Amino acid sequence: MPARKPTWVIEKERARRAAAAQTVWLFGLHAVRDALMNPAREKLRLVVTKNAADKLADAITTSGMDPEMADPRKFPAPLDPGSVHQGAALEVKALDWGPVAQVAPGDGTTRPLVLCLDRVTDPHNVGAILRSAEVFGATAVIATARHAAPETGALAKTASGALERQPYLRVNNLARTMEELRDMGFFLIGLDGEAETEIAPALARAGDRPVALVLGAEGPGLREKTRETCDVLARIPYARAFGSLNVSNAAAVSLFAAQTGG
């Protein structure tokens, strides 16, 4: 009789099967165009107005999809009310970037740089973080499978195409994944506004090692287990008596610091 799989392996396989069965509606010209141009994206249904179809003509041709033409006054895609769809919506399957061990090291041309998000649930924040991660050359953004922003149309629109190019991985246990990153050589820096160490000295401690920047949700910050797993806690310095950044701004500043040495 074959050995029984560990519970966490079974849960991970179930989560992967469930994710594969789900679809996401992307909307907005930028998000839809970049998804249409992405050969790795499984595309199911494209709904566009005449005006949007004209603007997306090249991307539609590249994708080989047959769009459904829609009346802008009765746009049929099942989007949340108030979604600024710009006349374009695309139903897709979520991207599968592969395991952390394969994605986090990057392609070997630059020092790997990873962002870990501890229960960051706002899709607009995560979308903005993905844009910054792409700009500053992060090899992956890693978030929790639960209590974190999933791939949604709102996230994709805020990411403005970065969702198609910037690896966004969801893991069941962030602390365990951080330990895996440490075993791969990463130096783990947790961002904490009350830390004694500033980010520049923390980055100096990393030396030439790959860096993982760990950010928590606004308000609660990092969970205790996440804090304990970090190699060092660091803060972004501020000029006045009080300073505070939202998580997407903190991610951009810390990524810039990591790329420039602080």
Cα distance between residue 239 and residue 250, in whole Å: 15
Confidence of residue 238 (pLDDT cuts 50, 70, 90): confident
Is 91:45 a contact under the CB 8 Å cutoff?
yes
Task: Look at 19 and 146; give whichever has higher pLDDT.
Answer: 146
Please check whether residues 187 and 118 belong to one and the same domain: yes
CA neighbours within 13 Å on the CB side: how many for 119? 12
Tens-place pLDDT, residues 148-203: 998 889 999 999 889 999 999 999 999 999 999 999 999 999 999 889 999 999 99
CA neighbours within 13 Å on the CB side: how many for 130? 29
Among 75, 93, 111, residue at a domain's last position: 93
pLDDT at residue 9 is higher than 80: no
Is 125:154 a contact under the CB 8 Å cutoff?
no
- The whole domain housing 162 covers 100-260
pLDDT at residue 1 is higher than 60: no
Name, in order, each residue with C-beta under 8 angstroms of 39's C-beta and a sequence gap of 6 or more: none
Please check whether residues 112 and 232 belong to one and the same domain: yes
pTM of the full structure:
0.86
Please check whether residues 128 and 195 belong to one and the same domain: yes
What's the Cα-to-Cα distance from 202 to each of 49, 84, 187, 261, rounded to whole Å? 51, 41, 10, 10
